[in-house]
Structure 1
């Protein structure tokens, strides 16, 4: 029971930090959102332009820059759940009763 409460408290604290980061625009998710919006706006402007215009070069540079920023913000998604009894027995040495997996 205590372990479950500790996990719940830990998850609650993590969610509070995530909300605070979202509010202050410092979370990875918010940066990805903002970079994505900028990239979409740049793509829209590029679509309006004629390739003979000199400033198109700058727009293409910006497109690459924001695409690279989005790629740099990519993270591996991991979820957790209570492990099975077999998993718990296998993990006794690590003292972990939870398993992680990629989403």
Structure 2
């Protein structure tokens, strides 16, 4: 059963858990329902940004429920091995690319 944590950062820049849920399936309708319930509990304040994996159902649900929220993909889910394959030419053309990328990814 998938676990859906809602985490954030407080005014002291500390990670906090707002809420969490266990979902019985990973359909778009399930995520729409879950996000609307969360929005109701948060006094209809949408998050400024949300980071997820590359699941299409979550992506579509975010667009429906949080249309003004910046949606980003988690670096871990993008896979560093894939980045190496796709960005190999940049590594050759720009000698400081790896250092710059690692500084950005922190």
TM-score after normalising by structure 2: 0.26
More helix by share: 1
**Larger-gyration structure (1/2):** 1
More strand by share: 2
TM-score after normalising by structure 1: 0.26
